[in-house]
Amino acid sequence: MTAAFEPTSQTLEEQAAALELEWSANPRWEGVTRDYSASDVIRLRGRVSEEHTLACRGAEKLWKQLSAEHKEGKYTNALGALTGNQAVQQVKAGLRAIYLSGWQVAADANNSGHTYPDQSLYPANSVPTVVRRINNALLRADQIEFSEGIQSVEDWLVPIVADAEAGFGGPLNAYELMKSMIQAGASG
């Protein structure tokens, strides 16, 4: 089975209007201030709209958790996980979110294999790489249980909140880093 290229039948203006409507009608975007327009977003994404299931699912889940708990004066517990196994153990213990710390990646899990201070000196793709490894471990835990017909946790795929750092360059660097985080499945 091959995927066919099917460009959208909507004009850029129609796509921008649909995005503006989403931003204004969906309570998820309430209170968000943007210094860019829907047209800017449409122009940057290109002709092919990619789906990023893990990031979308996790971001929606995280927003719902935080929103509901904020109304009750509660919060979502999350611990730092640096490996997939740590994340699996945290989900088994009942945590509903995983935090990935930039300083932990700088010190112990960056793609250069060296130890760095938390100053964005390590390769920029290091955090997305660890996000992907954590998601792969959570997916595997889910696959194993599903194949065995058991369910020990409500949902293995908890949101991953990842520290994206700030010192990797200008707007283009930040844009590319966020694309990598989304592709890896980061939720926030």
pTM of the model: 0.87
| Position 170 confidence tier, pLDDT thresholds 50, 70, 90 | confident
The pLDDT, as a whole number, for residue 7 is 57
Alpha-carbon gap, residue 22 to 18, rounded angstroms: 6
Question: What's the one-letter identity of residue 35?
Answer: D
pLDDT tens column, 132-152: 999 999 999 999 999 999 999
* Residue 24 zone, left/alpha/beta (φ > 0; ψ -120 to 50; rest): alpha
As assigned by CATH, the class of the 52-184 domain is alpha beta
pLDDT tens column, 103-129: 999 999 999 999 999 888 889 999 999
The pLDDT, as a whole number, for residue 167 is 67
Residue 81 has pLDDT above 60, yes or no: yes
Is residue 160 a contact partner of residue 98, using CB atoms and an 8 Å limit? yes
The pLDDT, as a whole number, for residue 5 is 46
The pLDDT, as a whole number, for residue 20 is 96
| Domain-wise residue ranges, the chain | 8-49, 52-184
Orientation angle between helical segments 53-71 and 171-184, nearest 10 degrees: 90
Alpha-carbon gap, residue 90 to 135, rounded angstroms: 13
Residue 6 has pLDDT above 80, yes or no: no
| Position 49 confidence tier, pLDDT thresholds 50, 70, 90 | confident
Compute, in degrees rounded to 10, the torsion defined by CA atoms 9, 11, 17, 20: 80
Is residue 185 a contact partner of residue 160, using CB atoms and an 8 Å limit? yes
